[in-house]
Structure 1
Amino acid sequence: MTILVTGGAGFIGGNFVLDWLASQNETIVNLDALTYAGNLETLQSLRQDARHVFVHGDIGDSERISALLREHRPRAIVNFAAESHVDRSIHGPGDFIHTNIVGTFNLLECAREYWNGLEGGEREAFRFLHVSTDEVYGSLSAEDPPFAETNRYEPNSPYSASKAASDHLVRAWHHTYGLPVLTTNCSNNYGPYHFPEKLIPLVILNALAGRPLPIYGDGQQVRDWLYVKDHCSAIRRVLDAGRPGETYNVGGWNEKANLDVVRTICAILDELRPRDDGKAYQEQIRFVDDRPGHDRRYAIDARKLERELGWRPAETFDSGIRKTVEWYLSNSKWIAHVSDGSYRDWLNKQYG
């Protein structure tokens, strides 16, 4: 048995591949374009594992995908491949349109052709699982209930608009062509192997380097924080038992303001890696101009996933964020290799 994973060298995809092969004896064909956030060092432990077949390629390459499907005959496709950083989408939306919309279309068409050629039990068992985000739902006020699967889409950034479009394509390919799809919309992920442009790894690494800890606006933007390995377990559960055509929201039940997240990280670093001068890491916090169209609050109602499939996250925010900080303290080599010159140039452009 085999599954095809796209974007499996990125943050969530890489964690999924590692966790899958740690608990399953089923081959993964891993297709990744290795853009700035894709990193094969994340998968270093699998170099000699015959169950991991890595292919350098893009989901927009229909010939490559069709050839992989014919050769490996996977029972499922799990699509993590996406441009996913809001700030980058504001500076350059074209890449997000190309990958998240056109790429998903290409992948769906290849999957549809492949699925139509299957027969009997193989056709019945095939699944296309599309990994998406809570940002497609827009922004919540402090009094609003969390996003449910029935919330209408109101994306506010080029990134979330491109992901919303891809979700609509996945839904349409199910209702028009019968393709057995599943969609998951997750809240903010954090954990090991996170590319250090996102808030949590950025704060950890800047703190250790003595650099400012940039926080947009007043720091009161609220997110529901989901430990990445909990997200991976939810995807495995949806792939195993989800109903074709359904959407499942995946959340951590951990709403935190960005400023509180940063202060928590600082407190853990004060304990585990205190500053040489004895001062608190919180002194490095700096507020910067808010980004355009910054959504105020996201929150996920994950009760459907719990009610229908019995899934809940294993980590609290306190346990997950401590594991995350400890991982970054123990993996300086991985960090150094992803924090190359182009990444530092981007940070200077974004935060000055």
Structure 2
Amino acid sequence: MPDTALVVGGTRFVGRHTVEELLDHDYHVTIFNRGNHDNPFADRGAVDHVEGDRRDETDLKAAKLSVQPDIVIDCVAYYPADVDIATDLFSDVDGYVYISSGDAYGEEEIPKREGETPMRPCTAEQAVDDSGETYGNRKAEGDREIVEAANEGVNAMSVRPCIVYGPHDYTERMDYWLDRVANYDRVVVPGDGQNLWHRAYVEDVASALRIVAEEGEPGAFYNVGDWTAVTLEEMLELIADAMDTEIEVVHAGERELAAAGLSPDDFVLYRDYPHLLATGKLADLGWESTPLDEAMARTVEEHRESERDGSEYDPGRGNEETVLGVLDTL
């Protein structure tokens, strides 16, 4: 009998790739979710589906009894209470892995290291808040629940990705830049293009989740991100190479951007202070990162087949043309 895996979530982005990773390593996989999104595995007999709400403890317990999983990958635990309930319910599995976030870190250090860089605090009010402002606080408190569960004998671990990109990314953050490179010869980037926001290729996140479930130390956190972190400008060069095109990256400072009513923060994946996660602890378990050119080639290929363009993050091409006009007069 193959090992059984329960993926809480499992149909959209990280979860979808995690299911593929588990199938590639001969797991029998069941996904557990509310069925609100299209199931890419609906026609594949190797993947079972149990419908339910992960925040309903009765539904979650029914899924456990139905599947009797060896490992559990929890893709949609957004509140500390979710982790508390899950680690109690799955206290007897070989491995429970919670997807946390690099945003759980509470101090700006380069790089951020597991067990060394402090985590964000989390008040009782933040623990139940649903706004983006408390996301990192809630993820950090979920990590504390992992430690507590491990102290009680549960094989519970945490994986902390930085910004995730790759095929089927419904957030469309990378799609904005993919669309810009595909459609324009000159691409405006804020600052000098050297800002660094560590990113993680989604297939590498999926392999990290499996490896940590199999090999991780209970109560431990594992960062995951591209082994080689690249700047925003280097990312655009990777995209251009994958698209077999050439672009001119145009740097725009705060003054030039202000001419069009823009600021650096209006550009997605821009971060003023570098965000870099140390990934050696994960590599010590045997994890490897996909070469950047391969990761971007797969990302570009799927982007071209999709209808995503990242327009939610578009600062307006007209505004960019204004900035370009200002720069051309300097």
TM-score (norm 2): 0.75
- In the TM superposition, residue 133 of structure 1 has moved relative to its aligned partner by 1.7
Residues 2-56 of structure 1, C-alpha deviations (whole Å, 9 max, x = no match): 222112123111111122223314132332564xxxx53xx53x32222312344
Matched-pair contact (CA < 8 Å) for 2:157–2:221: yes
- C-alpha separation in 1, matches of 2:316 and 2:156: 37
**1:205 alignment partner in structure 2:** 179
264, 279, 297: which one aligns with 2:274: 297
**1:246 alignment partner in structure 2:** 220
Q: Which has the higher helix share?
A: 1
- C-alpha separation in 2, matches of 1:243 and 1:252: 22
* Structure 2, gaps ≥5 residues long: 122-131, 320-330
Q: Which one-letter code corresponds to 2:278 in the other structure?
A: D
1:51 matches 2:46: yes
**RMSD, matched Cα:** 3.5
- C-alpha separation in 1, matches of 2:182 and 2:56: 41
- In the TM superposition, residue 75 of structure 1 has moved relative to its aligned partner by 1.9
75, 79, 83: which one aligns with 1:80: 75
Residues 106, 302 of structure 1: alpha-carbon distance in 2 compared, 3 angstrom cutoff: closer
Residues 164, 220 of structure 1: alpha-carbon distance in 2 compared, 3 angstrom cutoff: farther
Q: Which one-letter code corresponds to 2:172 in the other structure?
A: E
**2:154 alignment partner in structure 1:** 179
1:223 matches 2:189: no
* Structure 1, gaps ≥5 residues long: 83-99, 116-122, 275-279
Q: Which one-letter code corresponds to 2:42 in the other structure?
A: R
Matched-pair contact (CA < 8 Å) for 1:137–1:154: yes
- In the TM superposition, residue 203 of structure 1 has moved relative to its aligned partner by 1.3
- C-alpha separation in 2, matches of 1:20 and 1:248: 19
Q: Which one-letter code corresponds to 1:169 in the other structure?
A: E
Q: Which one-letter code corresponds to 2:28 in the other structure?
A: E
Residues 284, 33 of structure 1: alpha-carbon distance in 2 compared, 3 angstrom cutoff: farther
- C-alpha separation in 1, matches of 2:53 and 2:185: 36
1:147 matches 2:124: no
1:255 matches 2:229: yes
SS in 2 for 1:222: coil
SS in 2 for 1:47: coil
Residues 145, 324 of structure 1: alpha-carbon distance in 2 compared, 3 angstrom cutoff: same
Deviates more, 1:225-234 or 1:53-62: 53-62
1:306 matches 2:299: no
Correspondence list, 1:261-280, <5 A: 261-269=235-243, 271=244, 280=247
SS in 2 for 1:223: coil
- In the TM superposition, residue 78 of structure 1 has moved relative to its aligned partner by 0.8
Matched-pair contact (CA < 8 Å) for 1:210–1:284: no
Matched-pair contact (CA < 8 Å) for 1:33–1:58: no
153, 169, 188: which one aligns with 1:194: 169
Matched-pair contact (CA < 8 Å) for 1:225–1:317: no
How many residues are treated as equivalent by the alignment?
296
Q: Which one-letter code corresponds to 1:184 in the other structure?
A: V
- In the TM superposition, residue 202 of structure 1 has moved relative to its aligned partner by 1.9
Q: Which one-letter code corresponds to 1:5 in the other structure?
A: V
- In the TM superposition, residue 226 of structure 1 has moved relative to its aligned partner by 2.4
Residues 251, 225 of structure 1: alpha-carbon distance in 2 compared, 3 angstrom cutoff: same
TM-score (norm 1): 0.71
Q: Which one-letter code corresponds to 1:14 in the other structure?
A: R
- C-alpha separation in 2, matches of 1:30 and 1:302: 29
Residues 213, 152 of structure 1: alpha-carbon distance in 2 compared, 3 angstrom cutoff: same
Matched-pair contact (CA < 8 Å) for 2:14–2:206: yes
**1:169 alignment partner in structure 2:** 145
Q: Which one-letter code corresponds to 2:88 in the other structure?
A: R
Identity of aligned residues (%): 20
